[in-house]
A and B are shown apart, each in its own frame.
With several copies, the nearest count.
Chain A
Amino acid sequence: MINKKVGSVDDALQGVKSGMTFMFGGFGLSGIAENSIAKLVELGINNLTCISNNAGVDDFGLGLLLHQKQIKKMISSYVGENDEFERQMLSGELDVELIPQGTLAERCRAAQAGFPAIYTPAGFGTEVAEGKETREFNGKMYVLEHAFKADFAFVKAWKGDAAGNLIFKGTARNFNPNMCGAATITVAEVEELVPVGTLDPNHIHIPGIFVQRIYQGAKYEKRIEQRTVRQKN
């Protein structure tokens, strides 16, 4: 068993530098790498390019990095619910590239799986396809989209072991598995680091080969963005 366990978030983030490109798992605030993000805020590195479906909210998630102006460019599919983001984008301080959600997922997966590019129908005929190669297959038009390149991927899982194996919970899974192995170094933080051998090999969502460093997160706020309930009769 190849040991991926590191003792602390400090060790997990060794090598992060200003100017790097990072991937962040999560959908909204669900399944985000809370501890890695907090550490990046503390480290104060800047000029970052961040690939993440969303940009957090004003005071949580990637919003914390935005607040400190650590991010130079965001590549996302949906960036609502964040006033500071909107302000930086409209003022031109922040470079923003918006791409379809499925394209985002698959450009990560392409990097993970060694594909240089994919053909997707998403965005054909829209400004997303401007300047991009398009092509017809079987009477339908597709856009060529390239695999991402990133220095670090920060993902969050429910359970993991020292071999780097990961299991996610519910919709907190989202982009996390697709980003594992899609960057030079994948850093996984987990709610529960369990002894090697206790995870059922059939139930592992991401085999450890896609993860370079794993650590147990100190605590998880797991903030809910849109708490919605129904009343009991």
Chain B
Amino acid sequence: MLDKNGIAKRIAKEVQDGYYVNLGIGIPTLVANYVRDDIEVEFQSENGVLGMGPFPFEGEEDADIINAGKQTITTLPGASFFDSAMSFSMIRGQHVHLTILGAMEVSEKGDIANWKIPGKMVKGMGGAMDLVASAENIIVAMMHTNKAGESKLLKKCSLPLTGVKCVKKIVTNLAVLEVTGKGFKLLERAPGISVEEIQKATEGKLIVEGTIPEMDI
């Protein structure tokens, strides 16, 4: 079974040379730590920066330079700042190649719910609805089940949706799955996890074809 860093590490393998990538809050943020050194990637943050670098050294924080999680950041050579309209032009116009974000639920059709638990948690969708409505390539990073042990890979989402038929791939602590429109196609197992265990943790239709390899991370 993978921990959060393991999930991030596996997702990092999906990042290709020349990609502009938008990372959501939580596990997705960790992906930046594991991207290969020999490829060129730029990170976009929807609050208005392209070419994000690591967090600043202590004492070098600038209140005017933050990411979408409101964390202080730095920029790399070649970076640029822009307004919110232009930022979402990048996203809506599909100039950002890959969006990695967390989810509370994903359906077997690729619907995603990650912004609201009615009556409990209503923080707002931020840029997530724009991202999932526009991105050509969306990878969800999440635990396979919630804290109560219930599957987060469902036939149908029970929570208010963030977007419909948009998720392409899911990386969880148990597996890598492709969303095919007909079900969750199992691509890889986490180290030490059996197909049966994944099946048990998946409420939506799981498609298992042939031998499922163990992840190479």
Contacts and interface: CB of A to CB of B under 8 A. Distances in A.
Interface of A: 1-3, 27-31, 53, 76-81, 86, 89-90, 96, 98-106, 108-109, 111-115, 120-128, 158, 161-163, 165, 168-178, 181, 196-197, 201-202, 204-205, 207-210, 222-232
A121 B92 contact: yes
Given A2-B41, A100-B125, A232-B57, A196 B80 contact: no
A126 B160 contact: yes
B124 A210 contact: no
Interface residues of B, number: 75
B70 to A, nearest CB: 4
A106 B86 CA distance: 9
Interface SS of chain A: loop
A98 B122 CA distance: 9
Contacts of A158: 64
B130 A209 contact: no
Nearest to A53: B84
Contact of B57 (A204, A207, A229): A229
Interface stretch (B45-53, B137-145, B148-156, B204-212): B45-53
A206 to B, nearest CB: 8
Contacts of B69: 226
A201 B133 contact: no
Interface in B18-42: 18-20, 40-42
Contacts of B82: 173, 204, 207
A79 B123 CA distance: 5
A196 B78 CA distance: 5
A232 B70 CA distance: 22
B197 interface: no
11 contacts: A77-B126, A89-B122, A100-B127, A108-B85, A123-B129, A124-B133, A124-B164, A125-B161, A228-B61, A229-B57, A230-B56
A229 B163 contact: no
5 smallest A-B Cβ distances: which pairs? A102-B88, A114-B92, A197-B77, A163-B78, A125-B164
